[in-house]
Structure 1
Amino acid sequence: MVTDQFKAKDDAGNVYQVVVHRNSINTSTLNGPGSLAGLPDFRLSDGRSLNRLSQDVFQIVQTGTKITRV
């Protein structure tokens, strides 16, 4: 599920839309249902994958371009 969206910019001034997906992890037991939020998955709106380098800096996997949250 999409949990967040924000804009990021590269050094050339190009603006990208970052979409954060987070899946739910089933932690149900015999005592009852349960779930936890999984790790975030960062992608561009066009589906390209991102690696998170720091709190606000990401790298586009396919191109190596670094982008910064604005």
Structure 2
Amino acid sequence: MDLIEKFDAKGKTGAGYHVEVYQDDEGTLPRVKSYKLKDGRSLEPLSDAKFRIVQTGEKIYRL
């Protein structure tokens, strides 16, 4: 997996998060993207700008 993007996000409480986007570097198409917080927690994308932290259920929003 290759790191292809980084961006900041914020939760409803105002807490800030650093998001890292990884893409499968194997030859498969379409290439699969994985979203994780910098601390390693997984994110589920809900839209291009909204994500859910898998471990807590908190929704965060891309800045």
Note whether the superposition's TM-score is higher than 0.5: yes
Structure 1: 4+ residue segments shifted above 4 A: none
Q: Partner letter of residue 58 of structure 1?
A: F
How many residue pairs get aligned? The number is: 62
> What residue ranges of structure 2 are gaps of 5+ in the alignment?
none
Q: What TM-score, normalized to structure 2?
A: 0.90
1:42 aligned residue: 35
**Identity within the alignment, %:** 42
> What residue ranges of structure 1 are gaps of 5+ in the alignment?
28-35
Rg bigger for which structure? 1
SS at match of 1:58: strand
Two-structure CA RMSD over aligned residues (Å):
1.4
Looking at secondary structure, tell me which structure has more strand per residue: 1
